[in-house]
Amino acid sequence: MTTLALAVRTPRSRAIGIVIVAVALALASQIALPLPKTPVPLTLQPLVVVLAGLLIGPIDGAAAMVLYLVAGVAGLPVFAPIGAPGLARLLGPTGGYLLAYPVAAAVAGWLGAGRERFAARLVAAIAGILVLYAGGLSQLAIITGSVTTAAVLGVLPFVAADLLKAIVAAALSGRRSGTTL
């Protein structure tokens, strides 16, 4: 997908893309594996967050994340099935990650949307994942009172899996002729 293709989409196709991505994120959140010794489950959400920015661009990717968060805060069952419901989720151990979703999608999109080179898209996806870590680490540090403890609980167990997700996002967002959201 080229940058031009991102720019010439109609308002209707943009809205459809935003809704599709928000639904995809809600579905990805349902695949949640609890890990021992951490309140943060392993999910496919980081993959969808960075892929959103790479595929539909920074603004629409961020908009899809906001739509997802609004749906979750409103009480729709879009958040991972592990943890508090609704607004309370944003105040708990995974809230920092969730609140970072719009920024992470935007960063991945700004750096990688429309890029032809896999390496550029991979760097963009990794940058998006790092934004997620910054959000999650910040909230976990507040909750635990320790940045070290927060890193042990909310970053270290996920690095390998999230690197793989970044690679997959970079691969899936490669140029395809005639494909736009």
**Exposed/middle/buried for residue 115 (C-beta within 10 Å: 0-12, 13-18, 19+):** buried
Is the pLDDT score of 125 beyond 90? Answer: yes
Could you give the number of structural domains in the chain?
Answer: 1
Give per-residue pLDDT as tens, 72-98: 999 999 999 988 899 999 999 999 999
The whole-angstrom separation of Cα 113 and Cα 6 is: 8
Q: Is residue 65 part of a domain?
A: yes
Q: Is residue 135 part of a domain?
A: yes
Average confidence score pLDDT of the chain: 92
The CATH number of residue 140's host domain is 1.10.1760.20
The whole-angstrom separation of Cα 123 and Cα 98 is: 21
Range of the domain at 66: 3-172
Q: Is residue 141 part of a domain?
A: yes
Q: Is residue 96 part of a domain?
A: yes
Mean pLDDT of 155-165: 97
What whole-number percentage of the chain has pLDDT above 70? 92
Of 26, 61, 23, the C-alpha closest to 44 is 26
Q: Using pLDDT thresholds of 50, 70 and 90, give the confidence band for residue 11.
A: confident
Give per-residue pLDDT as tens, 25-55: 999 999 999 999 999 999 999 999 999 999 9
Q: Is residue 178 part of a domain?
A: no
Q: Is residue 180 part of a domain?
A: no
Is the pLDDT score of 100 beyond 60? Answer: yes
Q: Is residue 89 part of a domain?
A: yes
Q: Is residue 177 part of a domain?
A: no
pTM for the whole structure: 0.91
The pLDDT, as a whole number, for residue 9 is: 77
